[in-house]
Amino acid sequence: SERMETEGKEVLRALSEAGYEAYFVGGCVRDKALGRPLKDIDIATSALPDEVMRLFPRHAPTGLAHGTVTVIREQHTFEVTTFRKESEYEQFRRPKEVEFISDLNEDLRRRDFTINAMALDAHGTRYDPFGGSADLEAGVVRCVGNPLERFHEDALRMLRAIRFACEYGFSLQEATWEALLRHAPLLAHVAMERVGAELDKMIEGRSPDRAVKLLAESGLTRHFKQPVVWPLAEWDLVPELCAAVKLTGVTGPELRWTALFVLLEMSSGQAREAMKRLKFSGKKSAAIVRLLQMDEWMRQHLDKIRMEDEQAGFETWAGACVMFGKPVALLWLELASWQTESLDGRNWRQLLELGPGWIERIPADRVTELAVNGTELAVELDKPAGPWLGALLQELLVETAKLRIRNERDILIQEAKNRVKRETM
């Protein structure tokens, strides 16, 4: 936003008034040149972290070991990093130690790609020692310096190369692509968490289909520290599958990954394990697993019922909505309409038409939405509370969702009494 740029420039000015050099660097310079909205602004400076902290009392020491201080302004925060050089790389991973330096050019030289190695000062003057602007114009991802060396230093850069190419619709410079093919096995040294974060950005990004294609073509997916696909070879099939059914046909982080797992014919259990290896958050992984479980359940059940019998169709759907929840059911409808091409049978097509309306007709999908609660039931039935209550409420919920009984207190209590009586008879 404009506000973010204004506050960022204030930081640059404060630093230069104190006698230091300071620039916008990296992704924000690239995105600004492309006319894209900026996500955040990173600043590089000749000031040492201590000096940055002294100059900006409102700060957070977020990465002092790497020379990074987060400067807090009114509406935005800025990562201010001291010019540095990454001297020794440890085993194809990140540098072991950093060395602070006073030269902007040296700082830009350690960066991965020419399009990410530009700087902008407070007056809007661009510093571009490696031809990043020209590569942006031409639409090329090119390593700064020798690609074989750069991928050898940090193998994650190979995944980043593919990510930037896909995000911006760029090609990969020939030497960069060749180095990537040659060094693909080095990816085995990179932490799965970093791999997961890059894959996530690719799948959620602008060209997930091309990303999958390039991942398969490059062979990178065969060299993860831990395999994430069963069988691994199936990555090779995905480009063909994606050509028919485009991942861009679904949006949102959960649906994209779910769709990819469906294409890979991975079960919910396999997907769960893959996401665990990729260190996805528990919340995200759980949401995706839930969707896949619903997909599996629907495939098992929908094929069996005859949708000509509307009531039977509706009851199956209502059962699923209770089991997985309405929000998941809504997402699943999107997933199902994305895969209609590959699914045959009228059941599916009919459900896609009727499903959304049916969801609205379902009066409750959680026991908390019932017109009676457990405490009241225990009193009415004159029985001490216990595990039986949860089970009974669940039964009432299913009956209600299937529209067999109405969601009214007296009706629910009567139904509960009938059920308990039937059981004890």
* Residues making contact with Mg ion (CB under 5 A): 27
SS3 342: helix
Q: How far apart are CA 194 and CA 278, in angstroms?
A: 8
**In contact, 401 and 321? CB cutoff 8 Å:** yes
- From the number of C-beta atoms within 10 Å of its C-beta (0-12, 13-18, 19+), residue 342 rates as exposed
Output the CA torsion sign for 201, 206, 207, 208: positive
Please, what is the minimum distance in Å from the beta carbon of residue 401 to ligand ATP?
A: 43
**In contact, 374 and 396? CB cutoff 8 Å:** no
Nearer to Mg ion, 27 or 319 (CB): 27
Please, what is the minimum distance in Å from the beta carbon of residue 25 to Mg ion?
A: 10
Q: Which of residues 58-117 bind ligand ATP (CB under 6 A)?
A: 111-112, 116-117
Q: Which does 250 bind (CB under 5 to 8 A by kind): ligand ATP, Mg ion, none?
A: none
**In contact, 295 and 335? CB cutoff 8 Å:** yes
Rama region for 4: left / alpha / beta (φ>0; ψ in -120 to 50; rest): alpha
Please, what is the minimum distance in Å from the beta carbon of residue 42 to ligand ATP?
A: 6
Nearer to Mg ion, 159 or 397 (CB): 159
- Site membership for ligand ATP, residue 200 (CB under 6 A): no
- Site membership for ligand ATP, residue 35 (CB under 6 A): no
**In contact, 140 and 171? CB cutoff 8 Å:** yes
- Site membership for ligand ATP, residue 27 (CB under 6 A): yes
Nearer to Mg ion, 24 or 338 (CB): 24
- Site membership for ligand ATP, residue 39 (CB under 6 A): yes
- Listing DSSP states for 351-396 in one string gives HHHHHHHHHHH---SSGGGSSS-HHHHHHHHT----HHHHHHHHHH
Residue number, nearest CB to ligand ATP:
27
Give Cα 204 distance to the centre of its chain: 6
Please, what is the minimum distance in Å from the beta carbon of residue 19 to Mg ion?
A: 28
Nearer to ligand ATP, 161 or 413 (CB): 161
Backbone angles phi, psi at 82, to 5 degrees: -65, 140
Please, what is the minimum distance in Å from the beta carbon of residue 164 to ligand ATP?
A: 8
- Site membership for ligand ATP, residue 129 (CB under 6 A): no
Nearest CA to 72 out of 139, 150, 10, 161 is that of 10
**In contact, 79 and 39? CB cutoff 8 Å:** no
Residues forming beta bridges with residue 172, ordered by sequence position? 141
Please, what is the minimum distance in Å from the beta carbon of residue 147 to ligand ATP?
A: 12
Please, what is the minimum distance in Å from the beta carbon of residue 171 to Mg ion?
A: 22
Nearer to Mg ion, 112 or 315 (CB): 112
Q: Which does 157 bind (CB under 5 to 8 A by kind): ligand ATP, Mg ion, none?
A: ligand ATP
Please, what is the minimum distance in Å from the beta carbon of residue 221 to ligand ATP?
A: 19
Nearer to Mg ion, 24 or 83 (CB): 24
Please work out the total of residues on this chain that contact ligand ATP, with binding judged by CB under 6 A: 11
- Site membership for ligand ATP, residue 156 (CB under 6 A): yes
Nearer to ligand ATP, 128 or 154 (CB): 154
**In contact, 247 and 205? CB cutoff 8 Å:** no
Using CB under 6 A, list all residues that contact ligand ATP: 26-27, 39, 42, 111-112, 116-117, 154, 156-157
